[in-house]
Amino acid sequence: MNFAQRQVEPERGSPAVLYCRVSSKAQTKRGDGLGSQESRCREYADYKGYVVQEVFTDDVTGKLVERPGITELLSWLRKHRKQTPVLIIDDISRIARDVRTHFKLRELVEEAGGTIKSLSIEFGEDSDSILIENMLASVSQHQREKNSEQTKNRMRARTLNGYWVFQAPIGYKYERVSGHGNLLVRNEPYASILQEALEGYASGRFETQVEVKRFLERQPAYPKDLPNGEIRNQRILDILTRPIYAGYIEVPNWGVSLRKGHHEGLISLQTFEHIQNRLRGNAKAPARKDINADFPLRGFILCNDCGKPLTACWSKGKKLKYPYYLCPTKGCKSYRKSIKRDELEGAFEGLLERIEPSRSFYELVKAMFKDAWEMRQGKAAEDAHTLRTEIKRVEKDIDRLLDRIVDATNDSVVGAYEKRIAKLEREKALFAEKLTNGVKPRMTLEESFEHAMRFLSNPWSIWKNADLALKKTVLRLAFSEPLPYCRNQGLRTPNLTFPFKVLGEFCSEKCEMAHLRGFEPLASAFGGQRSIQLSYRCLGR
C-alpha cells in the first residue's frame, strides 16, 4: 500500500507527538535510549516548526497490541484527527522490526488521521522513496532475526557448557561468580523448602503429589500461585520433573541432552531418578483433604472386626464439636460405632512409650552400628570399583553408537541411536554421581549413630512434637503394618519394624548372662574348642 501518496506535508505549527521505544526495561535502567530519542525528535520538531504536545514510550518488544505506548498513541491521534497531527519517530526500526508490522502500523496511523515523520528517512511519493522504505523495513526485520539467532546460539552454547540461561527457577537466584559469570545459587528459604519436598516425595514420606502440594502450601514463606493460597497441580509436576534441581542441565528443544551443571543441586541425581520412577510407576489416588492433623491415625488404625481402616470425623453436639474415630464399613459389627479420639490416641501414645529400648544397651547398639559401618565402608570400596567398570562400559557403548550414527543413512535409525545415547549418558551421569557420593560418607559414625538413636530411643517424643507429615513417617518407621483396634479390648499386639523388634528383645529391668549350655554343644567340630556367645535373657518387667 502506497501510504506516501496519501500524505500531505504538515504546516508549521501543526501539533506533534513523539514515539520512543527500547526493547527492554533493562535498557531503560542501564542507558538513556528513551531520553536520547526524545531529544533528537524534539530537535527535529523545532526545525520543522511543529508543536510537541505528547510523548509516548514503550520499553517492551512484541506485537503491537502488547505495547501500551502504541495503544495510547493511536487513541490520542483519533481524538485529534481534525488537527492532522504529526507522529515523529527517531528511526524506522523504532516502530517495528518486521515488514508486515511496519506497514500495519503505518495503516493504523493513517486511519487515525496522523502523518509519520522520521529522522532517518523521508517518506516520499516517488517510487525510489517507496523502495527505500521497503528496503529499510526489510533490513530492520533482518537485523531483528539475526540478533535473535545469534542470541539463541550463544545461549545454547552456554547450556552445552553446563550453565542455565533462562529465568531462575524457584529455589535459585542468579549471582555473579568469578570464572562463571551469572550462576544459579541457592535462594533461601525457598531452596530448603523445595529440598525437603523433593526428598520427601522420593523417600515416600509424601505418598502423592497432592501431599507435596499441601506441604508447600503450609509453608508461609513459599510463594503461592493462586489468591486463595493454593498452588497449581501443574506447578508441582514441573518441580518434580525438572533435572535442574538435581544439579543437571537439559534443554531438549535445543538438542541439549542431560549434562552436569555448574550450579549446586538441591537433591542428588539418584534422588531425582527415584522421583521419576515413582511418577511413572506409582499412580496413586490423591490423598483426601479430610486426612489432616486432627486425626493423624486415620487410615493406619484398623477395625478389629472387619480389618478395614477406621475413618474419623467431628461430631456436632449441642454446643461443641467432638472428635471420633469410627468404622465406615457397612455390614461390620462396629459399623458407625464411635471411638473417642482421646481414648484411641491415648492408647496409641502409651504403646509408643512402651516400645522404647532400654538405655542400658546403648553401648551394645553402638557396637552393632560400628560393625555395620565398617562393613558398609568395605562394601563402598567394592561398589566404587564396580561403578568405575560400569562407567568405562557405558563410554564404550556410546562411542560404538556414535560410530554407527556416522554410517547410518536412515533418519529413523539415527533417531533410535540418539535416544539410546541419551539413555546411556543418563546412566553414566548416575554412575558418576554414585561414585562421587560413595567415596566419603555424608556424616561420621558418631553423627549417624546419634541420628538413629534419637529416633529409636524415644519415638513417642518425636510423635508428640511432630507435624502430620512427620507423624506419618514415625508410623512407617516403627510399625511394619497397620494396627488393629478392638472397641472392647483396645489396641492389639503390634508388628514392629526390625530395629524395634530386635531391640525389644532386650527391653527389661533385669538381665542376666545366659548359660552356654543349651545354646550349642560344649565341644565343636573344630578341635573341641568352645565357642563363646554372649546373649541376654529378657526376664520381663
Give the whole-number percent of the chain exceeding pLDDT 90: 6
Structural domain range at position 445: 359-449
- Does residue 459 lie within any of the structural domains? no
Q: Do residues 269 and 248 lie in contact, with contact meaning Cβ atoms separated by under 8 Å?
A: yes
Residue 491, pLDDT score? 86
- Does residue 162 lie within any of the structural domains? no
Compute how many other C-beta atoms are within 10 angstroms of the C-beta atom of residue 500: 20
> Number of folded domains in the chain?
5
Do 37 and 92 belong together in one domain? yes
We report the CATH number of the domain holding residue 141 as 3.40.50.1390
Q: Do residues 71 and 61 lie in contact, with contact meaning Cβ atoms separated by under 8 Å?
A: no
- Does residue 473 lie within any of the structural domains? no
Which amino acid makes up residue 324? Y
Residue 461, pLDDT score? 75
Q: Do residues 185 and 172 lie in contact, with contact meaning Cβ atoms separated by under 8 Å?
A: yes
- Does residue 185 lie within any of the structural domains? yes
Q: CB within 8 A of 471, min separation 6: which ones?
A: 296, 463
We report the CATH number of the domain holding residue 179 as 3.90.1750.20
Do 16 and 99 belong together in one domain? yes
Q: How far is CA 435 from the centre of its chain?
A: 25
Residue 540, pLDDT score? 37
Give the whole-number percent of the chain exceeding pLDDT 70: 72
The predicted-structure confidence for 217-240, as pLDDT tens digits, reads as follows 888 888 888 888 888 889 999 999
Do 15 and 144 belong together in one domain? yes
Residue 74, pLDDT score? 85
- The residue that leads in pLDDT, 336 or 65, is 336
Overall residue count recorded for the chain in this entry = 541
The pLDDT confidence band at residue 421, using thresholds 50, 70 and 90, is confident
- Does residue 207 lie within any of the structural domains? yes
Residue 527, pLDDT score? 44
Q: What is the mean pLDDT of the chain?
A: 76
Do 111 and 127 belong together in one domain? yes
Q: Compute the average pLDDT of residues 27-52.
A: 78
Domain boundary among 311, 336, 354: 354
Do 43 and 119 belong together in one domain? yes
Do 306 and 408 belong together in one domain? no
Determine the Cα–Cα distance for residues 265 and 258; give it in Å rounded to an integer.
Answer: 14
The predicted-structure confidence for 139-170, as pLDDT tens digits, reads as follows 777 776 777 778 888 888 888 888 998 999 99
Q: Is the pLDDT of residue 2 over 50?
A: no
Do 20 and 105 belong together in one domain? yes
In DSSP terms, 339 is beta-bridged to 325
- Does residue 328 lie within any of the structural domains? yes
Q: Is the pLDDT of residue 330 over 80?
A: yes
Residue 401, pLDDT score? 80
Do 130 and 21 belong together in one domain? yes
- Does residue 109 lie within any of the structural domains? yes
User: SS3 for 9?
Assistant: coil
Q: Is the pLDDT of residue 444 over 70?
A: no
Do 8 and 137 belong together in one domain? yes
Determine the Cα–Cα distance for residues 35 and 232; give it in Å rounded to an integer.
Answer: 42
Residue 296, pLDDT score? 87
- Does residue 153 lie within any of the structural domains? no
- The residue that leads in pLDDT, 367 or 187, is 187
Q: Which of 31-35, 49-53, 129-133 has the highest mean pLDDT?
A: 49-53
Compute how many other C-beta atoms are within 10 angstroms of the C-beta atom of residue 103: 16
Residue 47: all three cell numbers together:
526545525
Q: Give the global pTM.
A: 0.48
Q: Is the pLDDT of residue 437 over 50?
A: yes
Do 315 and 259 belong together in one domain? no
Do 141 and 9 belong together in one domain? yes
Q: Do residues 221 and 485 lie in contact, with contact meaning Cβ atoms separated by under 8 Å?
A: no
Residue 173, pLDDT score? 92
Q: Do residues 334 and 301 lie in contact, with contact meaning Cβ atoms separated by under 8 Å?
A: no
The pLDDT confidence band at residue 253, using thresholds 50, 70 and 90, is confident
Do 254 and 376 belong together in one domain? no
Residue 184, pLDDT score? 92
Q: Strand 301-303 vs strand 483-486: parallel, antiparallel, or unpaired?
A: parallel
In DSSP terms, 338 is beta-bridged to 326
